[in-house]
Amino acid sequence: MKRASFLLVVLWLVGCSATANVPLPPAIHVVPPGPAVPKDRAAFSGKWVGTWVSGPGSVVHSRAHILIVEEIIGNAAALIYAVGAGWELDRVPEKRPFWVRIKGGFVDGALRIYVPATGGTVTYRILPDDTLDATLEYMGDLWRAHLRRGTE
């Protein structure tokens, strides 16, 4: 357990610089949330960076990840979901770097999205230290990420 916790911290720190290899669209437009947007939802606005981590037993896989919440309207959010290259890049096409603009929804204080490119469902939660905790359910596996606010 201690090894897994240590490894997650190391991957989180490494992931902060690894996001340079995550593709993004040429135009990104973050619209600041208006006064009608509840504060708990408005907190999701902007760019977030981190690393997805998964692995059965002692094998750990990781992928750099960027989430950009461009706009929040009511219970929905317009966002960019992007990931860097994954393990098995040469054998599995869905492990290639990609970005996609998609819609997400707010449920019980969390932002949830379905990523058609991978068939995965992602749930993001704001933590008290203004970071995001994320879980990705993908092909029977559970991936985790800890994201911090990114800079432009």
Domain ranges of the chain: 2-149
Question: Contact, 49 vs 150, CB < 8 A?
Answer: yes
* pLDDT tens profile 139-151: 777 889 999 999 7
SS3 108: coil
Question: Contact, 24 vs 99, CB < 8 A?
Answer: yes
Examine the pLDDT at 16 and tell me if it is beyond 50. Answer: no
Question: Contact, 132 vs 50, CB < 8 A?
Answer: yes
* pLDDT tens profile 89-107: 444 555 678 999 999 999 9
Structure letter (DSSP) for residue 94: G
Q: How far apart are CA 78 and CA 100, in angstroms?
A: 11
The verdict on domain 2-149 having CATH code 2.40.128.120 is yes
